[in-house]
Structure 1
Amino acid sequence: MKIFLNKSLPKWIVLLMDQLVMSWSFALSFFIIKQFEFEEIMRGHFLVYIGLFGVISLITFYSMRVHTGLIRYSSIYDIYRIFSAVLVTSMVYAALVGFWVSPVHKIDSVNIYLVLLISFFVSATLLTLIRMGAKAIFLYLKRGGPGKHERVLIYGANGHSILLKQALETSEMNRFTIVGFIDENPNKTDKDIHQKRVYHISDLDRLQQKQKVDKLIVFADDLKTDDLKEFIERCVELGIKVLTVPPTEQWMSGQLSLTQMRDLRIEDLLQRPPIVIENNRISSDLKGKRVLVTGGAGSIGSEIVRQVLSYNPALVVVCDQAESPLHELQLEMEEAFPGANMAIFIGDITNSNRMYTLFKDYAPEVVYHAAAYKHVPMMENNPCEAIMTNVIGTRNLADLSLTFDVEKFVMISTDKAVNPTNIMGTSKRIAEIYIQSLNNLHHGKVNGNTHPYTKVSQTKFITTRFGNVLGSNGSVIPRFRQQIERGGPLTVTHPDITRYFMTIPEAVQLVLEAGTMGNGGEIFIFDMGEPVRIVDLARKMIKLAGLVPEVDIPITFTGLRPGEKLYEELLNEEEQTIPTHHSKIKISKVRKYSYDIVVNDIDELVKLNKTKDELQVVRKMKQIVPEYISKNSRFEELDLQTT
């Protein structure tokens, strides 16, 4: 059977079948007009009439290539070609009979025009029915005959939706029964498109009860609208699984591949309308520049590399100490940007000599500093390492940026630096304070003249601050997904814990935009949308997997982790914001810090860090950042000592 389904009829057989239908239709019409009086028919030059008709029909069908289409994939266009070929055959034949056969050969024993009229409808109908019947049989056999088919709804009622319907019906591996289309436009509902009913989105509950819909299929581009997200959440609540497909222009060879269909992910529901950025402005800022990205193998850093390369820089230097991820990124970028000039630099940002070599060899003009330790519980248990990377590593890079006259230094910070309750957030806040103080520096000494820096630099130090990014390494969503695959339970620290979320690409877009508009000293904060309750996120992910929360997959609460707080903030209470030309980006008005005071504090912090006395290190951190109050941490005792 499978071999049969993969075979197709030779073109000459299709042409022969069409001609047999055409000739039989003509003969039947001739007999009808002659009232089946066969003796009279044979004396009335029947063979001449049908022979001429057969020749004209053969030439017409062959010229119009009616026989070249695969019958199993017949479409409206193929039906149009059939009707056109039959019409042309009839018109040419009528002209030849009227102007040549009858007057020249004196043959006029039948009303040939009436014969042609009947023959036209009979042959066109038969040829169409044969193709549609063959297509229906093919689809039936391909689906394996009767059995369990997935009953699906297609979101939208337009040309793309029709193409999707046709692609699903001719798919070779899955078995779909198209229930119909569903749309919010009342002008389209309660009508039929391609023999399928268009339903209104308000009919979803009734459809689920009567039609037993298994899945809804949507185009991925449509997911960015809030109305569709609400509708999809209704589907999830009703137990209807949601599949997404790419836009039709991305279909391979014009055909939808089943590998391009995927289950809806929670990231699809959390993403917001696309961010509009000033590409021309960013391009003018980066085109032809030498750009350094630290932490380039990480989630944010690698996306910065991808987006920066699209603006045609002279060179992108990717710095990280993770060998394998760097190698994978290099292979990806060589394939995506074959002509790009990219250098891979393996190094630890805490190693000042290694970083000096990087700046000396490549002389970057723009630095995006994404290298950092970011996991809150891990840094709570290793505060000295957090200081080494997030504070000392940032200071090394910032000082070198002054030394080598970098134009812009853009630091990637976090919302956990606001009113910090943990080591990680506080270390990032100290790094923010340091680079802000450098921006106001107007003398030639950096770290006691450690580096050969002897003139005032014009380096602009800029900070960007945002919350969690979807799908980043170690984030909650990949962890939930793994727990669901294992059958649960999903572990949530607290029923009321909330977090802000943003996709990696949109976060990096805003980083590039903020870096372009920054004049130095600013802390840019991004519009993160509404905070999301993590337990609600867990329930939605379970439902998206087609499972029932607390029935198929339990949710357990494990308690807040060390340093973790319930709610993240983007501003301190003492801070205010200034709007920018971009609606998603605001500037935080923060306190000013003197470089001399800051550098003395950090020098003392570094000395304490070398002793590995964690209590003294954290006590100094609390002195530098007075709003740092430990939560659920062994360092809470230090707060009690100061009260």
Structure 2
Amino acid sequence: MYNSFRKKIFGGDNVVNLSDVRYLPRWIILIIDIIILVISLFLSTYIIEKITQKEFIYHEDKSVVFAFIILVNTIFMYLFKTYAGIIRHSTFIDLFKLLISCFCTMFVVATINMTYFWVTGGKFILTPYLVLYFVISFMGLFLFRLYVKEFFHIVREYRRSALKKRILVLGIDEQSIAIARAILDNPNLPYQVVGFLTQRTDSKRASLLGKPIYAKEKIETSTKDDLVIDGIIIVKEMMAKDEMNSWVNLFLEKDLNVFKAPSVQKLRDSDLGGSIRNLQIEDLLNRKPIKIENEEVKSRHYGKTVLVTGGAGSIGSEIVRQVAQFTPSLIVVLDQAETPLYDIELEMKEKFPHIRFKFVLADVSNMNRVETLFQTYNFSMVYHAAAYKHVPLVEENPHEAISVNILGSKNIAMLSSKYHVNRFVMVSTDKAVNPTNVMGASKRAAELFVQSLQNVEGNRTKFITTRFGNVLGSNGSVIPHFKKQIEAGGPVTITHPDIVRYFMTIPEACELVLQAGTMGHGGEIFVFDMGEPVKILDLARRMIKLSGFEPEIDIKIIYTGLRPGEKLYEELLSDNAKTLPTHNDKIMISKDPIMEFNEIDGLINLIGEASVVRDKVDVVKILKNIVPEFRSNNSIYEALDK
């Protein structure tokens, strides 16, 4: 390392990076120590002369005495290797070596001085001078090491801070202070806390952890350059959705990065760096989850046998995860997608090794195949989440929608009634309300059939339907699609600038399903209060800004036109539906028109036959007879509505 240092000096490159100087050679440290000893001698001489006003060296040649003291001190520094350590990593052991070497020097010189006195009757040096030299030399050697250690610490921290993101912590509560302290105590994190931010206006002159507190107006009236910060860290759990959206809008307007930190309850120093992440659009769309009556839900599943169709999909797999927490005797997971089914099998066996699972590769439209499951297992609960849901694909292939969404639902519902399953819960969609596409209409037809079974003579099964909007992060949903487009540098594609959608998280959706399965008495369609709809254009813009880019400048947004069957906004309730409240203010019962079993069963048998032998236009024509409110939009089937 010394050679590389010399190369820097003498090789033409006169810029020396202090971080490259790892340590100095030992002989240089020893020379510096000897220089400190010489300075200590002269300083001791000056002080003793001022105090005593008389001679303190009785030898005719002072230089001999000085050289003798330096020689003895150097010998002891060599013996104790006081120069051998890396100075900026000095420890108490190094300090103790210095103390011993200086003390031994004083002791040996004093002993020789006394021996000289006993032999000749006179001293060659004043004893108090030795004590003063001992103190000054030790302090000089110690301070040299202390200053070098602190100097390298300051340089190291300066270099680290230059590479760190300068951030403000949002909030001055205990949670925010704990997060800030954890960041400050961990020098390896790529963040430097430079202050706190609050809505309060009475904290301008106060400080926390030695950092200033800024009011919200400071951010509002300043630019990013004025603030000299890179971003903000927020604790998401501490704020309501509206409050967080307000803050994030302000931060994005100022081009500040927004980071999310875990709550103190989830905080562990070992993984704090991995826990602080860029705020995601899902964090802004999340709402407080539904409060499940866990005891009631648990009693409904504990020790029971449960079937989940579509169990490898986004919703079905989350239902499996949540049901497994209630210790059922068996969960049968059915899906026709081989790879996702295998993935959920590996996950469940790892997370719930004490739960018995059965993973079945099958199609719900195959009546004989699924009936063997009902014959083999005494199901108490059936969650029917199997369905084709991608609007453009189903619009182009209506036969498959009839086969899976309608006939598959009929099969599972009929078998549930036949084998006296206690409860059947079907997962539906807001696209079933006043449908404009085949997918939504097929789900509405399935709803009608499931509801009709409730009043069939001899039926003992409670048939329950849940209906909700888009789920965040589900397979094929818009948010993962936008993320991929942003990561690829754009453009972000939107079908129409005015299109809006409702959003909820996958766990929320599945909590609704479990809650409905518990609270339903049979024949209901449960709908969820999904809050305000989100404009997809605003969603895309915020995702781009949260990713650190500027919409239309760094990432372009282009409009591709509405896809076949797509509409600008979704509805949770039909126009002529009435709602009834439940004990959960986030869940309502939709009183949609119903059909008698014989009528809907005959129509479904008819469309089932048509899906095998006729073209897709004929199939959709029958589907429109089943669902009269079905009006195609931006589709070849619009002609059927005229």
**Shorter-chain TM-score: which interval?**
0.7 to 0.9
Does the C-alpha gap of structure 1 residues 183 and 438 become closer, same or farther in structure 2, counting only changes over 3 Å?
A: same
Question: Which of 231, 234, 239 pairs up with 1:215?
Answer: 231
Counterparts of 1:615 and 1:508, CA distance in 2? 35
Aligned to 1:484: 486
Counterparts of 2:600 and 2:374, CA distance in 1? 24
Does the C-alpha gap of structure 1 residues 151 and 250 become closer, same or farther in structure 2, counting only changes over 3 Å?
A: same
What is the Cα deviation at residue 168 of structure 1?
5.5
Within 5 Å, give how 1:204-603 maps onto structure 2: 204-205=219-220, 206=222, 208-222=224-238, 224-252=240-268, 254=270, 256-257=272-273, 259-442=274-457, 456-603=458-605
- The question of whether the paired residues in 1 share the 8 Å contact of 2:426 and 2:465 is answered with yes
Q: Which has the greater radius of gyration? A: 2
2:636 counterpart SS class: coil
- The question of whether the paired residues in 1 share the 8 Å contact of 2:167 and 2:231 is answered with yes
Aligned to 2:193: 178
- The question of whether the paired residues in 2 share the 8 Å contact of 1:287 and 1:314 is answered with yes
Does the C-alpha gap of structure 1 residues 572 and 177 become closer, same or farther in structure 2, counting only changes over 3 Å?
A: same
Does the C-alpha gap of structure 1 residues 141 and 208 become closer, same or farther in structure 2, counting only changes over 3 Å?
A: closer
- The question of whether the paired residues in 1 share the 8 Å contact of 2:527 and 2:589 is answered with yes
Look up the equivalent residue of 2:181 and give its one-letter code. Answer: L
Does the C-alpha gap of structure 1 residues 582 and 316 become closer, same or farther in structure 2, counting only changes over 3 Å?
A: same
- The question of whether the paired residues in 1 share the 8 Å contact of 2:170 and 2:197 is answered with yes
What is the Cα deviation at residue 613 of structure 1?
2.1
Q: CA RMSD in A?
A: 3.9
What is the Cα deviation at residue 583 of structure 1?
0.9
What is the Cα deviation at residue 208 of structure 1?
2.6
Does the C-alpha gap of structure 1 residues 290 and 141 become closer, same or farther in structure 2, counting only changes over 3 Å?
A: same
1:328 counterpart SS class: helix
Counterparts of 2:373 and 2:415, CA distance in 1? 10
- The question of whether the paired residues in 2 share the 8 Å contact of 1:571 and 1:588 is answered with yes
Counterparts of 1:271 and 1:250, CA distance in 2? 18
- The question of whether the paired residues in 2 share the 8 Å contact of 1:384 and 1:612 is answered with no
Counterparts of 2:375 and 2:607, CA distance in 1? 28
Counterparts of 2:407 and 2:246, CA distance in 1? 46
Aligned to 2:103: none
Does the C-alpha gap of structure 1 residues 36 and 248 become closer, same or farther in structure 2, counting only changes over 3 Å?
A: farther
After TM superposition, the structure 1 stretch with the greater mean CA deviation from structure 2, 332-341 or 550-559, is 332-341
1:280 counterpart SS class: helix
2:549 counterpart SS class: coil
Look up the equivalent residue of 2:324 and give its one-letter code. Answer: L
- The question of whether the paired residues in 2 share the 8 Å contact of 1:564 and 1:631 is answered with yes
Aligned to 1:163: 181
Q: Describe the superposition over 1:241-261 as per-residue Cα deviations: whole angstroms up to 9, x where unpaired.
A: 11222234434554523x333
Counterparts of 1:589 and 1:127, CA distance in 2? 82
After TM superposition, the structure 1 stretch with the greater mean CA deviation from structure 2, 462-471 or 488-497, is 488-497
What is the Cα deviation at residue 221 of structure 1?
2.4
What is the Cα deviation at residue 408 of structure 1?
0.5
TM-score w.r.t. the length of structure 2 is 0.76
Give ranges in structure 1 of 5+ residues lacking alignment. 8-27, 42-70, 75-124, 443-455
Does the C-alpha gap of structure 1 residues 377 and 223 become closer, same or farther in structure 2, counting only changes over 3 Å?
A: farther
Look up the equivalent residue of 1:163 and give its one-letter code. Answer: R
Within 5 Å, give how 1:6-17 maps onto structure 2: none
Does the C-alpha gap of structure 1 residues 159 and 153 become closer, same or farther in structure 2, counting only changes over 3 Å?
A: closer
What is the Cα deviation at residue 188 of structure 1?
4.3
Does the C-alpha gap of structure 1 residues 134 and 194 become closer, same or farther in structure 2, counting only changes over 3 Å?
A: farther
Does the C-alpha gap of structure 1 residues 330 and 133 become closer, same or farther in structure 2, counting only changes over 3 Å?
A: farther
Question: Which of 195, 203, 206 pairs up with 1:191?
Answer: 206
Counterparts of 1:38 and 1:311, CA distance in 2? 92
- The question of whether the paired residues in 2 share the 8 Å contact of 1:527 and 1:585 is answered with yes
Report how many aligned residue pairs link the two structures. 535
Aligned to 1:48: none
Look up the equivalent residue of 1:629 and give its one-letter code. Answer: R
Counterparts of 1:585 and 1:632, CA distance in 2? 32
TM-score w.r.t. the length of structure 1 is 0.76
Does the C-alpha gap of structure 1 residues 233 and 343 become closer, same or farther in structure 2, counting only changes over 3 Å?
A: same
Aligned to 2:107: none
Q: Describe the superposition over 1:507-528 as per-residue Cα deviations: whole angstroms up to 9, x where unpaired.
A: 1111111111000000000011
Does the C-alpha gap of structure 1 residues 37 and 617 become closer, same or farther in structure 2, counting only changes over 3 Å?
A: farther
Counterparts of 2:349 and 2:149, CA distance in 1? 48
Give ranges in structure 2 of 5+ residues lacking alignment. 2-16, 23-42, 57-87, 92-142
Does the C-alpha gap of structure 1 residues 459 and 487 become closer, same or farther in structure 2, counting only changes over 3 Å?
A: same
Does the C-alpha gap of structure 1 residues 167 and 339 become closer, same or farther in structure 2, counting only changes over 3 Å?
A: farther
Does the C-alpha gap of structure 1 residues 353 and 269 become closer, same or farther in structure 2, counting only changes over 3 Å?
A: same
1:256 counterpart SS class: helix
Q: Describe the superposition over 1:3-35 as per-residue Cα deviations: whole angstroms up to 9, x where unpaired.
A: x99x9xxxxxxxxxxxxxxxxxxxx9xxx9xx9
Q: Describe the superposition over 1:77-104 as per-residue Cα deviations: whole angstroms up to 9, x where unpaired.
A: xxxxxxxxxxxxxxxxxxxxxxxxxxxx
State the identity as a percent: 47
Q: Describe the superposition over 1:175-201 as per-residue Cα deviations: whole angstroms up to 9, x where unpaired.
A: x34321112244544322222111122
- The question of whether the paired residues in 1 share the 8 Å contact of 2:241 and 2:286 is answered with no
Aligned to 2:628: 626
Look up the equivalent residue of 1:552 and give its one-letter code. Answer: D
Q: Describe the superposition over 1:597-632 as per-residue Cα deviations: whole angstroms up to 9, x where unpaired.
A: 111111111111111322221111111111111111
